[in-house]
Amino acid sequence: MSEFIVYEQPLNERIRTFLRLEFLFARSAHALSGTSQMHHREAIDAMLSIVTVFERGDIKAEIIKEIERLITNLTALENIPGVDRTMLDDLLAELDQTLDSLHLKKSAIGQALKENDFLYSIRQRSSIAGGTCDFDLPDYHFWLQHSSTQQRQQKIQQWLENFVAARAAIEITLRLIRQSICFSPARAEAGFFQQSLDANQPHQLIRVKLPEDSPFYPEISGGKHRFTVRFMQFDVDSRPQQITDDVNFELSCCAM
């Protein structure tokens, strides 16, 4: 069975932020599963990047708006013949529970981490290349040396619990958007594909699927009205070039 790689391009700033947070949550979880001090440095670095993203505007309000939008759109399907009511009810219940969890958290997401002096000192030094090495942050060095693997994992997990509700909301949002439409065949002539989008549809994400062994990759750009896909030949030692062959690929224009 062939394996595939999916390339994604968000069409608005909200989904762009959600995808970045999804990446950072996955990065922190992967690092936290390791046992070395370097693994846990990486987990903290990813966690502090999450804190930084939440500082750049009212992300909590954006997440709540997106969940409310999904609830409204899904609720409108209740009276449509042929809709699986059990599945729909389960989705709405999951969204309602996620929304309640966000509303229960009165403070800004990640506020406790921003007020933590130990983490604040690490954040300050992180903007400098190599700024968190041992002589720069002796307290960080002390903590890494004097705590066990289990103690470090438990503490980092405790810090990450500040984002549990937000992470759950982003996960269900992106899952529903990705599953909103199946992939369909498409063809790029001379490595170029362009398609218009219906401005009345809430398109949020373009997804391109290629076989894992494909020798080229897509560069996707787009906005509210149209998007383009250029297939590029990869060369680690030189500038990528658009291929001149026709390309068959699979495409999903997600609108939820």
Report helix, strand or coil for 236.
Answer: coil
For the segment(s) 181-255, the CATH number from 3.40.50.1220, 3.90.1300.10, 3.30.565.10, 2.60.440.10 is 2.60.440.10
Which pLDDT score, from 0 to 100, does residue 1 have?
46
Spatial contact of 85 and 131, defined as CB atoms under 8 Å apart: no
Let me know if domain 13-175 sits in CATH 1.10.3900.10: yes
Q: Which is it for strands 226-233 and 241-242: parallel, antiparallel or unpaired? A: antiparallel
Sequence-distant (6+) residues with CB within 8 A of 149 are: 35
CA-based end-to-end distance of the chain: 30
The owner of tokens 């720069």 is 136
Kindly list the averaged pLDDT for each block of 10 residues, start to end, along the chain of length 256: 88 96 97 96 97 91 93 87 86 93 87 94 92 94 95 97 95 95 96 93 94 94 92 91 95 93
Q: Which residues contact 192 (CB under 8 A, 6 or more apart)?
A: 228, 229, 230, 231, 242
**Residue 231 β-bridge partners:** 218
Residue with tokens 């998007």: 227
What's the whole-model pTM score? 0.92
Is the Cβ–Cβ distance between 124 and 188 less than 8 Å?
A: no
**pLDDT of res. 54:** 94
| Domain spans of the chain, in order of start | 13-175, 181-255
Write the DSSP symbol of residue 255. E
